Amino acid sequence: MGTVGTGERRAPAWRGGFGRLWSAAVLSSFGDALRTAALPLLAASLTDRPLLVAAVTACGYLPWIVFGLLGGAVADRVDQRRAMWAVDAARGLLVAAFAVAVALGHASITLLIALAFLLTSLQTLFDNAATALLPALVDREALGGANARLLTGQKVTGGLLGAPAAPVLIAAGTAVPFAADAATFLAAAALVASLRTGAPERARKPAGGTLRREIAEGLSTLWRDRALRGLCASTALCNVGMGALMATLVVLVTGWLDAGNGGYAAAATAYTVGGLAGGVANRWVTARTGALRAVLLAGTVQTGALVVMGAVRSLAALVAALAVFGSMGMLWNVNSTTLMQQRTPADLLGRVGSAFRTLAVAGAPLGALLGGAAATAWGPNAPAFLTAAFFVLSVVSLIPVRTADVPVVAHDGVTTAHTVR
């Protein structure tokens, strides 16, 4: 394998399974967008207590903190393809049963909270298995292009198609979005089940191996790799800031800018469109900077965009800044995922990926609380500056590893020293 960060040398082939995996991912993203839009609306119709409505969303994060590491360890023990289609089939049946309950008038806040918790708990296994499976379907040199296509496709179907379709389906009946989501899960399960990949090759495990020991091995592998350790810490800092920004964005738009719901819709659309642009531009940027420097560039530009959001009291400026912010966020996500896949031995991908994701996501709830406190104490635009401060810390934490001479994992799991560009 070549040096990490030298840019995509090859595009992923649609044949050989990647096309079906991509189709399953974007189909599920469409269904997820429908459910994500419908759940809060249903919750608000069932109770007027904001804390209970927020609990439905909170339960979408909690399983990652509780089960994220376990999901990665299990993903490394099983056939990832079978795990993915089995999980999607289970999620499809679960959401279908929920749709029936809603149609019959049996929906309750308790049922919504249970659904959110169960779906995300299953997702911890699915996402970690998907991260580990992708390198078996495309060459490692093409992982950057594959991740860009996956994330861009999900952004299109989720942000540009699924979100606008949700109100239309809700108008047809409260249960309709959930029935549609169940159908996408089952269709995605069929697509993944049709993949033909060989049995995963894994090193023989020592006698007496336990899930706890295997989880510890994943954490240890992440810690020993200087580039991945720095990238994980940097992403965690970013996500604290992202929690602060996203939790208070509606207050910034409707309060500080007085732009109303239309302004909030324009801001959300700009962020989505920016993400699409970042996915298209990723290959060109990474080919010239390398993967790690592309992440560093993305964080630097995002910091500037955040300052604009907090300092310029104009909807047009906010929309433009969010478009730039979204495009750089896509660069960050694609290249951080690619680096993790390229630098990790195949039999550890599930555990290292889950450790990376769990540690990175854990800061988001804290950030949301900090953002709310900052908006209360200093005004609706304060969270944008708070987020910018966390992004500065994130970029600074990446600088020491941007030219580090660290090992790169070859196809056979052997490591060789190369400079990260």
pLDDT in tens, 209-221: 577 787 888 788 8
- What's the mean per-residue pLDDT of the chain? 80
**Element housing 326 (H / E):** helix 315-343
Per-residue pLDDT at 9 exceeds 50: no
Q: Among the listed ranges 93-102, 158-167, 171-180, 303-312, which one has the minimum average pLDDT value?
A: 158-167
Tens of pLDDT, residues 192-212: 888 876 555 555 555 455 777
205 part of a folded domain: no
DSSP code of 399? G
The total number of structural domains that make up the chain: 2
More confident residue, 61 or 359: 359
Per-residue pLDDT at 79 exceeds 70: yes
35 and 162 within one domain: yes
Q: Which residue has the tokens 């496709």?
A: 153
* Local confidence band at 7 (pLDDT 50, 70, 90 cut-offs): very low
206 part of a folded domain: no
Please choose, from the candidates 389, 421, 387, the residue with its C-alpha nearest in 3D space to the C-alpha of residue 402: 421
The answer to whether 326 touches 156, Cβ cutoff 8 Å, is no
Mean pLDDT within 366-378: 83
19 and 163 within one domain: yes
Task: Compute φ and ψ for 145, nearest 5 degrees.
Answer: -65, -40
250 part of a folded domain: yes
d(CA 8, CA 144): 6
Print the domain residue range for 355.
211-421
Per-residue pLDDT at 413 exceeds 80: no
Residue 198 has a pLDDT of 55
315 and 187 within one domain: no
DSSP code of 140? G
Task: Compute φ and ψ for 405, nearest 5 degrees.
Answer: -90, 95
**What single letter denotes the amino acid at residue 267?**
A
Tokens read off for 138? 């495309």
Q: Which residue has the tokens 């993305």?
A: 298
Per-residue pLDDT at 365 exceeds 70: yes
93 and 233 within one domain: no
Mean pLDDT within 105-134: 84
Residue 219 has a pLDDT of 81
188 and 333 within one domain: no
Per-residue pLDDT at 6 exceeds 60: no
282 part of a folded domain: yes
Q: What percent of the chain has pLDDT over 70?
A: 84
224 and 148 within one domain: no
Please choose, from the candidates 161, 88, 166, 165, the residue with its C-alpha nearest in 3D space to the C-alpha of residue 127: 88
317 part of a folded domain: yes
- SS3 label, residue 174: coil
Mean pLDDT within 401-418: 44
The answer to whether 388 touches 307, Cβ cutoff 8 Å, is yes
CATH number, domain at 125?
1.20.1250.20
Tens of pLDDT, residues 138-171: 877 777 778 878 878 877 787 777 767 777 787 7
**What single letter denotes the amino acid at residue 42?**
L
The answer to whether 253 touches 263, Cβ cutoff 8 Å, is yes
d(CA 49, CA 307): 34
d(CA 162, CA 166): 6
Tokens read off for 281? 């531009």
Tokens read off for 55? 């609990």
Of the three residues 168, 197, 226, the one that is the final residue of a domain is: 197
Mean pLDDT within 9-17: 62
* Local confidence band at 326 (pLDDT 50, 70, 90 cut-offs): very high
Q: Which residue has the tokens 């604009």?
A: 308
Per-residue pLDDT at 264 exceeds 80: no
**What single letter denotes the amino acid at residue 318?**
L
- Report the half-sphere exposure of 36 (CA within 13 A, side-chain side): 15
Per-residue pLDDT at 369 exceeds 70: yes
Residue 228 has a pLDDT of 85
Per-residue pLDDT at 389 exceeds 90: yes
Stated pTM of the model: 0.70
**Element housing 215 (H / E):** helix 211-224
401 and 252 within one domain: yes
274 and 368 within one domain: yes
Mean pLDDT within 53-77: 73
* Local confidence band at 27 (pLDDT 50, 70, 90 cut-offs): confident
